[in-house]
Amino acid sequence: MDLNKLVSKINQELLQLKVSDEPTELYEPIRYILDLGGKRLRPLLVILAYSLYKNDIEKVLKPAAAVEVFHNFTLVHDDIMDEAPLRRGKATVHEKWNSNLAILSGDVMLIKAYELFETVDDAVFKRVIKAFNVCAIEVCEGQQHDMNFETNDVVTADEYMRMIRQKTAILLGFSLELGGILAGANKVDCKRLKEFGIDIGIGFQLKDDLLDVYAHKADFGKQVGGDIIANKKTFLLIKALENADVATKITIEGWLKKENFDKKEKVAAVKAIYDKLKIRYIAEEKTNEYFEKGFQSLEDLAVNEERKNVLLTFTKNLINRKK
């Protein structure tokens, strides 16, 4: 299966998204955010899950596009809440226009996602919408937990895992579940597809936490140690605070409280603490645990092994990325 051709088909479907010309201020931001590109990971997962059972992938392009439109809706609103200036190297919607327009355009994107789901066969329509609604609410809950972490003095590892499951992983799980539902897969297989996506999604986020600290700058494509500089409560920081002795914990908290500091010095100091506490090993072990759980769910699917290998290879390529 040619994944580049699939991405082209997805992009073409997004280009055909029905948006009005007026008022231009409302609809231009939608075209803008969708034109910024991205890996199109979620719609690809819908199609790859569907192709485990059926070949007529053209039939699922619109519901696959619906997932991507919803994902971009969340990005527009998340960027406002995070006060993020850039998205994929370009100005965020609220920076290019303003927050009010970004909120309203995002709202329209959510409605457009539902419109795209209207193309689903009546036999599974209610099931698809029910599953999507459960997923969408969890994504919002995850974002709220993430925002709460910014002011919470203490965040536990379990709380962090719940947050990344909801904010990031659940949409990957729904994408795969959706592909299974649309293909007519049995409920057991659909559940396994969802679990595969959730576990792999959690593993992806944990690996991102690791790459932020331990990736080579040339490979990573952005500033290594950005999470440390920003005091982001990642799995690594949480485990370091949990495992540190009193003196080391005081040192970490001292860096967290500093408002004026040399960025390289802070990254080096916190990274040295991670190394002393073997945090990299702990995070890698947890990451691999979730990847293994996910692959077991995929292995348990009662489908043709050759078809399964396409999804397996695609996922492993994502896992082995360096940025």
| Cα 30 from chain centroid (whole Å) | 20
Q: Rounded to an integer, what distance in angstroms lies between the CA atom of residue 12 and that of residue 74? A: 21
The single-letter DSSP state of residue 215 is S
CB 205 within 8 A of CB 164: yes
Q: How many CB atoms lie within 10 A of CB 41?
A: 18
Q: What are 251's two structure tokens?
A: 């040192």
Nearest C-alpha neighbor of 205 from the set 178, 230, 232:
232
Phi, psi of 39 (to 5 degrees): -75, -15
| Torsion angle of C-alpha atoms 94, 99, 100, 103, degrees rounded to 10 | 70
Contacts for 160 with CB less than 8 Å, ≥ 6 apart? 149, 233, 234, 235, 238
In this prediction, residue 155 carries a pLDDT of 96
Per-residue model confidence (pLDDT) at position 245: 97
Nearest to 240 by CA among 272, 211, 266: 272
Instruction: State the pLDDT at residue 166.
Output: 98
pLDDT computed for residue 222 by the predictor: 53
Count of other CB atoms within 10 angstroms of residue 216: 10
| Cα–Cα distance measured from residue 311 to residue 187, given in angstroms and rounded to the nearest whole number | 19
- Spatial CB neighbours of 217, under 8 Å, sequence gap ≥ 6: 223, 224
State the pLDDT at residue 215: 85
Residue written as tokens 């088909």? 9
Across the chain, the runs of DSSP E, i.e. the strands, are 86-87, 90-91
What's the gap between Cα 20 and its chain centre? 29
Question: Distance between CA 44 and CA 314 in Å, rounded?
Answer: 10
Is the bond leading into 29 cis (omega within 30 degrees of zero)?
Answer: no
pLDDT averaged per 10 residues, the chain (length 323): 91 91 91 91 98 96 98 95 86 94 96 96 97 98 95 95 98 98 97 98 96 74 79 97 97 96 96 98 98 96 91 92 66
Evaluate whether 170 touches 139 at the Cβ level (below 8 Å). Answer: yes
- pTM of the shown model: 0.94
Query: Could you give the CA distance from residue 86 to residue 222 in angstroms, rounded to a whole number?
Result: 13
Walk me through the domains of the chain, giving residue ranges and CATH numbers: 1-119 (1.10.600.10), 122-323 (1.10.600.10)
